Amino acid sequence: MWSRRGLFAMAAGAAVVTACAPEQPGTVADDGSVTVAHAFGETRIPAPPTRVVSAGLTDADDLLALGVVPVAVTDWFGNEPFGVWPWAQPRLGGAQPVVLSLADGVQVDQIAGLRPDLIVATDAGLDEQTYRRLAEIAPTLPQSGSAAFFEPWRDQATAIGQAVFRRDDMAALISGVETRFTQVKEARPQFSDVSVLLLDGRLTRGDVRVTGPPWRREFLTQMGLTLADPAEPLIPRDRVADVLDSADVLIWTTESPEEQGALLADPVIAALSATRRERHVFTDKELAGAIAYASTLSWPVVADRLPPMIASALN
């Protein structure tokens, strides 16, 4: 139910911003507090938090990037220890956070028992009623805008940085990610004439799905590549050949050799020009996860590992 592919395909629920953000969001007020604007209004955090619950699917990464080790992490996919992937594991520093799940909704009662002083739920699909319940437990940070899941990564990271009193540090981390992708563009000028598609690693009833919302693919253009995205993210089987053959390189977010084999065994995929020219790039589990998490910690993994794979496919 809560696979990354299923969630990427969900329509985001609508939410209305009910309060205007201050001129300098995340500024520490005279009383030592910080106020963060979000989809349901704003949240005041009275002091730097020490017991933070990560109630969303991906927000633990941004907390760990700032050295904030949550007392609980919400597991998404991959069956990683404590719901934390390899790029973030060292930042636990031996901590063993409680592992929460969204399979049956937000575990409000369990979160209450953890006695948090901040609940980060930027990627938890909160509705206003659930937000209000969590806010009765501790200051709660929901999504920033209308995307109940998977809001643009900069928005999530920025809000989390403000909520833990590390606004400037988070701005530096975001800038660092941007620099990593820009450096790829500078180092690989051959990418300027290359069009790509970023695709799910499994077929959807025979159809092909472009991975995630548009912001999740913009890192490819930052690296100098051109997106060959179709008008609709789900490419029907009768159009797969035409759409996929329009790209120079196909990047499939596969998680195992078995998924790669299943794709190449499909007759439509086997007949593509990318198959004949060996222009497929297949990710492994960690790289697929890094693209899915789209965080300040996972993006550097993508910037390091994916460009050589694309370059190899072009040779």
- Shared domain for 103 and 252, answered yes or no, is no
Q: What is the pLDDT of residue 24?
A: 80
Q: Which of 165, 186, 221 is the last residue of a domain?
A: 165
Q: Which of 138, 165, 192 is the last residue of a domain?
A: 165
Residues near 122 by beta carbon (within 8 Å), at least 6 away in sequence: 56, 59, 141, 142, 143, 144, 151, 156, 159, 160
- Shared domain for 273 and 129, answered yes or no, is no
- Shared domain for 144 and 285, answered yes or no, is no
Is 26 a member of any domain? yes
Evaluate whether 254 touches 201 at the Cβ level (below 8 Å): yes
The mean pLDDT of 54-64, rounded to a whole number, is 97
Is 172 a member of any domain? no
- Shared domain for 37 and 126, answered yes or no, is yes
Is 240 a member of any domain? yes
What are the φ/ψ torsions at residue 30 (nearest 5 degrees)?
A: -60, -30
- Shared domain for 215 and 304, answered yes or no, is yes
Q: What is the pLDDT of residue 26?
A: 85
- Shared domain for 159 and 10, answered yes or no, is yes
Q: Which of 165, 192, 211 is the last residue of a domain?
A: 165
- Shared domain for 296 and 259, answered yes or no, is yes
What is the total count of domains within the chain? Answer: 2
CATH number for position 99: 3.40.50.1980
pLDDT in tens, 62-115: 999 999 999 999 999 999 999 999 999 999 999 999 999 999 999 999 999 999
pLDDT in tens, 228-266: 999 999 999 999 999 999 999 999 999 999 999 999 999
- Shared domain for 185 and 161, answered yes or no, is no
Is 187 a member of any domain? yes
Position 25 confidence tier, pLDDT thresholds 50, 70, 90: confident
Q: What is the pLDDT of residue 298?
A: 98
Q: If 0-12 CB within 10 Å is exposed, 13-18 middle and 19+ buried, where does residue 169 land?
A: middle
pLDDT in tens, 29-38: 999 999 999 9
Mean pLDDT (the chain) is 93
Is 104 a member of any domain? yes
Is 11 a member of any domain? yes
Is 81 a member of any domain? yes
Range of the domain at 19: 4-165
Is 171 a member of any domain? no
- Shared domain for 27 and 149, answered yes or no, is yes
- Shared domain for 230 and 269, answered yes or no, is yes
The mean pLDDT of 144-167, rounded to a whole number, is 95
- Shared domain for 14 and 161, answered yes or no, is yes
What pTM was estimated for this model as a whole?
0.91
- Shared domain for 145 and 65, answered yes or no, is yes
